[in-house]
Amino acid sequence: MSTKKVVTIGIFIALSVVGAFIKIPSPTGTVALDAAPGYFSAAVLGGGEAALIIALGHLVSSAIVGFPMTLPIHLLVAVQMAVFAFLFGFLVRKINGYVAVALTTLANGVLAPLSMVPIFGWGFFAGMLVPLLVGSLVNILLAYLVFKAIKKAGVNIAA
């Protein structure tokens, strides 16, 4: 891996950490702008790097509020987010950016809390649905709009 790529990944991780402090009100307190750099990097760098960036961003966001769903559950959420970032990067490159925004928002905003129903029940799903949908849309749309603007400007970020 080149030095430029390592530095680029480090910058995106740092941006995720900063975003982890910008919270969107939710019952768990873990919904934040930590995922936007991960989604952006999925479009620019690819899925593997983005998976690392977005997973670490979520873990920092969760650590700030004391891992309210327990560390093992937050590790599971980090893996889910890594998969969603991979999906977003694939869809942006192979299908369409707005399709990527829509499908990834639904995956992270609906499927992720739905997967927690066996553990936390339907009340958790109901409480997290709107904040997570809003947080997902803000993170993903922000990432895509910045990606489009940088691409249009002709800036090459890929390491």
User: Which residues constitute the domain of residue 76?
Assistant: 3-153
pLDDT at residue 48, rounded to an integer = 87
Mean pLDDT of the residues in the chain: 94
CA angle 29, 30, 33 (to 5 degrees): 115
Asked if residue 158 has pLDDT above 80, the reply is no
**Residue 23: beta bridge partners?**
32
Residue bearing tokens 């922000």: 142
Task: Give DSSP secondary structure letters for 43-72.
Answer: HHT-HHHHHHHHHHHHHHHHHHTT-TT-HH
Compute the distance between CA of residue 107 and CA of residue 100 in angstroms, rounded to an integer. 10
User: In the numeric block, which tokens belong to residue 153?
Assistant: 């400007």
Asked if residue 46 has pLDDT above 90, the reply is no
Give 121's DSSP letter: -
Structural domain contains residue 159: no
Compute the distance between CA of residue 55 and CA of residue 61 in angstroms, rounded to an integer. 10
Reported as half-sphere exposure (CB side, CA atoms, 13 A), residue 122 has a value of: 0
pLDDT at residue 27, rounded to an integer = 92
Number of domains in the chain: 1
Q: Contact at 8 Å (CB) between 108 and 116? A: no
Structural domain contains residue 102: yes
- pLDDT level of residue 159 (50, 70, 90 thresholds): low
pLDDT at residue 1, rounded to an integer = 78
**What share of residues in the chain are helix, strand, coil (percent, to 5)?**
80, 0, 20
Compute the distance between CA of residue 22 and CA of residue 90 in angstroms, rounded to an integer. 27
CATH of the domain at 14: 1.10.1760.20
Structural domain contains residue 120: yes
Structural domain contains residue 158: no
Structural domain contains residue 58: yes
Compute the distance between CA of residue 33 and CA of residue 154 in angstroms, rounded to an integer. 25
Structural domain contains residue 17: yes
For the chain, give the percent of residues with pLDDT over 90: 88
